[in-house]
Structure 1
Amino acid sequence: MPHPVTPALAGIPLEFLLFAVVLAMVAFAHVSTMLTALGGALVITIYKVLWAPFGEGAGVAGLLAHAGHEWVGLANLLALLLGFALLAKHFERSRIPDILPDYLPDDWKGPFVLLWLVFFISSFLDNIAAAIIGGTVAHSVFRGKVHIGYLAAIVAASNAGGSGSVVGDTTTTMMWLAGVAPSQVLHAYVAAGVALLVCALPAARQQQAYSPIVKDAPAGVRIDAARVAIVAGVLVAAVLTNVLLSVRFPDWIGVFPFLGAAVWLTLGATALWRRPDWHELPGALRGAVFLLALVWSASMMPVQALPAASWPSALTLGFVSAVFDNIPLTALALRQGGFDWGFLAYAVGFGGSMIWFGSSAGVALSGQYPEARSVLLWLRHGWHVALAYVVGFAALLVVLGWQPHQAGA
């Protein structure tokens, strides 16, 4: 069935030009990023309804069908961003971050080890939670002063950690559900490990020079066991829900936001034991609305196909994912086939770390550290992330080479 024709300028669909203007304003204009993203989403939506058909059809009917297709993913993202913001405060008030200086090295190796801990956590847990936990620990062990280059590295570590695990990132889970064997994405860790090493070394030294790690934990710190149990309960609920849906009930994934619901049901069930810090929600909501507006706008782009599967096209997709939602990119790649899924998982996962709004982990962390919401500062101080992406990709190419598979093959 042919795809609907969409208006274009010099061969470029007008939706892409509108989206590019929105991204440029977010990156460089000194206006509210949330209002810019919301305004851009509204303009693109109206344009699509009046002049350019959705992939599901034209006009209001097409809009409703598209919303029906996207709402579960958007609702899950909203629930996770807000839920993990509350979880971060539980974790902070558990006092665990306060005792970590006794267990982390006292020099630049302390922030270096912390990045690898974020990497490990993200291998089995959502990258949003891993980034927020990393940001919470960093706030404590660095006296509240965290370098933007180090924040970029935390996001990179959280995205790298999930790239080789089919339960560590939404995109790898999508591949698994489409028939890609877990072993066919596992080698993404070759690239991810090299990339994290490349960016973690300069980032750790940046942080140690900016605000050294606390050498000793304060005297008399008492762990709040109840809050520790709540944090553990929420994380276990999220992991079990993700695995259960993926293994036993894959057809339910697109029906209801079960993952976000599991997080919120656990938070609600434990609210009488330890009250969540509800005042965290307004700030988290602003960041969530911003990201949802960008994801919604990206979902309306008329991308019917990707360049032919090859390692150069996979490398390019990593840079594209820094500004374009990686979920539709992954869906298109699965439909097209012929990719080396480990390369693709690494590219669309780690690539989003190069700009602060390129991944949900970056947006979530910027809720804790608003100073990170600057593309220029992120690129200037987090230069090592883009370098690490290329070096990691090259390492995987040299070590294992491009080994394409069809989904399900």
Structure 2
Amino acid sequence: MKSNVLRCCRGLGMGLAGLGLSGAAMAAEGPALAGIPLDFVLFALTLLGVALFHDHTLKVGLVGLVTISLYKLVFTGFHAGPGLAGMAAHFAHEWVTLANLFLLLMGFALLARHFEKTRIPVVLPRYLPDDWKGAFVLLVMVFVISSFLDNIAAALIGGAMAHSLFRARVHVGYLAAIVAASNAGGSGSVVGDTTTTMMWIAGVSPLAVVEAFVGAGVALVLFGIPAARVQHAHSPILRHAHEHTHVDLPRVGIVALILAAAVVVNVVVNVHFPARADSFPFLGVAVWAAILITAGIRRPDWEVLPETFMGTIFLLSLVSCASMMPVEKLPAASWQTAFGLGFVSAVFDNIPLTALALKQGGYDWGFLAYAVGFGGSMLWFGSSAGVALSNMFPEAKSVGNWLRHGWFVPVAYVIGFGAMVLLVGWHPAGELKGAVAAH
């Protein structure tokens, strides 16, 4: 860390260069520090605070939101205009996105608990091979689960299965692989990761992010096999676990109904009533309608909501901060920018980075989904899945151990991204609703 504020801000500005930022490109109308508009400096300091103070993320996020809001009020104004009127108009425009995200994050927390209680995660390991290939198949399971379930839940499910199957002796490199598998699996699905869900809410087609599975699949093989071999050498798999457990089929139906409600309502609204998509949080309401309708069949775990609420408010504070950034000062999006975002995502939360990219527009969304989704796996605190799993296995809370034993994750990220460039090609989309043209 730099020894004074100016050098710190310079360093953060260079880190955000992974987003394609440069001093010349960000010539601001308001105050600037070392050529960097103060909007971005305040935002970067907020993200740095989140990265450094893991036990106080909500406070850091809210302080950042208040600070940036006051700065915009006094100095630069908002996209919709200056002063309080500009702020009111800005959040009047953003409220549907924020409401959808709030309802989905809260609802998906209940969805994840429903899936855990289907007992499918307990039954699946009985079909695993009893050598290193079993450890690899477990990572594939986490990858698949994350494609339709939140990646945090997928990582925790994978960690719980690993704890049981390997007699609580889980190698740090394998923990890194579980996080990487959960993030990679969610990158190609709009219901598998908060970042891809944000893209979906913003108008990105689910098919546009599916191409992320090309890079994610290549990466899974590249990090999964060495991680599985390391784990097998560290502690072989335990055979015949949970042989007499049965699946709760009604809960399976509930999970399917909630996911179907989200997909069907989003398709209907965006295809048949696109003009009304920005007027009401249809997607989030559909998910909650399915949850409440099925509550009489199997009781949701309402107890998870208070903690989920705090985490959701934190994420919404960061998304709100990102929505106020002057993204028109950013250079045009490119695959190089998206590639750099993966490394930035390993240090800073990928939610606000995604919000910035969505506001700017012009990305190939599959590339962005892979980069911000999988890139955070390179460090234990680079993704919410990594933080959650590290709370279960405290020995993973070491950057040195994570990099030393999980070296195959950044290697897999680079090669997987290269595979996307060669096999899929960069095909940027047009501007989304609410995007600001970059200059």
**Shorter-chain TM-score tier:** 0.7 to 0.9
- Residue aligned with 1:142, SS: helix
Asked if residue 331 in structure 1 is aligned to residue 358 in structure 2, the reply is yes
Separation of aligned partners in 2, 1:17 and 1:97: 43
Pair 1:405–1:75, CA change in 2 (3 A): closer
Q: Is the 8 A contact 2:158 2:178 kept in 1?
A: no
Q: Is the 8 A contact 2:187 2:213 kept in 1?
A: yes
- Give the counterpart of 1:314 among 324, 327, 338: 338
Deviations 1:53-87 (A, max 9, x none): 22222221122122122222222222222222222
* TM-score, L = length of structure 2: 0.75
- Give the counterpart of 1:225 among 249, 252, 269: 249
State which drifts further: 210-219 or 14-23: 210-219
Partner of 2:283: 259
- Residue aligned with 2:325, SS: coil
Partner of 2:430: 407
Partner of 2:213: 189
Partner of 2:435: none
Gaps of 5+ in 1: none
Asked if residue 142 in structure 1 is aligned to residue 163 in structure 2, the reply is yes
Partner of 1:397: 421
Deviations 1:305-353 (A, max 9, x none): 433444323322333455352443443553xx4x655544433443344
- Give the counterpart of 1:249 among 264, 273, 279: 273
Identity %: 51
- Give the counterpart of 1:16 among 28, 35, 40: 40
Partner of 2:314: 290
Asked if residue 50 in structure 1 is aligned to residue 50 in structure 2, the reply is no
Q: Is the 8 A contact 1:101 1:214 kept in 2?
A: no
Q: Is the 8 A contact 1:188 1:346 kept in 2?
A: yes
Pair 1:271–1:310, CA change in 2 (3 A): closer
Deviations 1:235-292 (A, max 9, x none): 2222323333343333343322222222211111121222122211222222222222
- Residue aligned with 1:304, SS: helix
Separation of aligned partners in 1, 2:231 and 2:58: 29
Pair 1:188–1:222, CA change in 2 (3 A): closer
Length, aligned pairs only: 395
Partner of 2:3: none
User: What letter matches 1:142 in structure 2?
Assistant: H
Deviations 1:365-384 (A, max 9, x none): 56985959968479546554
- Residue aligned with 1:51, SS: helix
* TM-score, L = length of structure 1: 0.79
Pair 1:240–1:158, CA change in 2 (3 A): farther
Gaps of 5+ in 2: 1-26, 432-439
Partner of 1:132: 153
Aligned-pair CA distance for 1:100: 1.4
Deviations 1:14-70 (A, max 9, x none): 122222222222222465222222222222222222223222222211221221222
Separation of aligned partners in 2, 1:47 and 1:17: 11
Pair 1:286–1:302, CA change in 2 (3 A): same
- Give the counterpart of 1:239 among 258, 263, 281: 263
Separation of aligned partners in 1, 2:55 and 2:391: 19
Separation of aligned partners in 1, 2:69 and 2:160: 39
Separation of aligned partners in 1, 2:427 and 2:312: 36
Aligned-pair CA distance for 1:9: 1.4
- Give the counterpart of 2:90 among 55, 62, 66: 66
RMSD: 3.7
Separation of aligned partners in 1, 2:162 and 2:304: 21
Separation of aligned partners in 2, 1:316 and 1:50: 33
Partner of 1:281: 305
